[in-house]
Amino acid sequence: MACLLLPHSANFDDLDPLKNEPEIEVVMVLPGPPVPRDAALIILPGSKSVVSDMKFLRREGWDIDIPAHHRQGGQIPGICGG
């Protein structure tokens, strides 16, 4: 599962239960690379500035990766403002 790292991300401790599960790998996606194609889930974290983070997400091209993931049957949960 991949979690996008946004400039104003919040609530990352919400992912701690998932990180503690040995059969689950949580990959934090840093700016620059595309979202991993083999991710079972793309998690959109909470944001302290939703509009700013949405602009950032678009600049990174993740606005293309996320719908492509969904079209291929992938799931996209969001946390809080994610």
DSSP string, 35-50: PPTT-SBEEB-EES-H
Alpha-carbon span 32 to 19, nearest angstrom: 23
pLDDT at 29: 93
Measure the CA–CA gap between 31 and 82, rounded to whole angstroms: 16
36-82 residue pLDDT tens: 888 989 999 888 899 999 999 999 999 999 999 999 999 999 888 66
pTM of the model: 0.84
Average pLDDT (11-23) is 86
Q: Where are the alpha helices (DSSP H) in the chain?
A: 16-19, 50-59, 62-71
Count CA atoms closer than 13 A to 32's CA, side-chain side.
2
Give the pLDDT of residue 52: 95
**What pLDDT is attached to residue 13?**
81
